[in-house]
Every structure is written in C-alpha cells, then in structure tokens.
Amino acid sequence: MILKEELAAPLRVMQEFARRIAKVSKESKLTIDEDEYVSSFKVELMDAVIQWCRGVPFTDILKVNFFLLRLKVL
C-alpha cells in the first residue's frame, strides 16, 4: 500500500513503538512474534483516520475509501 508522504513518518514511529512493545513482551516471557505484531496494525486505515480527525464528514471518507477499495478488487 502506498501511504501519503505525511503519513510515512507517523507510521515509522508507530512501528518503532510496536517493536518496543514486542521486545518488552518477550522479556516478560510472553509469546509474541515481533514482525507479526508490527504488521498486524491496519495501515490501510491511516488516511481515513487522519481525515476524520481533521473534521472531514464521515460519509465523504466512506465514499472515497469505498471507491478505492472497489478499484483494488477489480
């Protein structure tokens, strides 16, 4: 998936935090696969979430994202 440039830095920060959480979990004797944990976050939703936080009407976000989803399926 291609993220907007403005979301690339926040994604890296989130992934760094996820890696730290996974490492602490391992140190605490919890079973966790670091790469699987990091990849479990749904980056596909980042653009929609940032739009919603900026006040874009939810119906507009749904229209755009539904259209993009349809393009991927076709």
Under 8 Å between Cβ of 58 and 52 = yes
Q: Does the pTM of the predicted model rise above 0.85?
A: no
The pLDDT tens digits of the residues spanning 55-71 come to 999 888 887 776 665 65
Query: Residue 3's closest CA among 53, 48, 56, 55?
Result: 48
Neighbour count for residue 46 (Cβ, 10 Å): 19
Q: Per residue in 5-48, pLDDT tens? A: 888 899 999 999 999 999 999 999 999 999 999 999 888 888 88
Phi-psi region of 27 (alpha: psi -120 to 50; beta: other; left: phi over 0): alpha
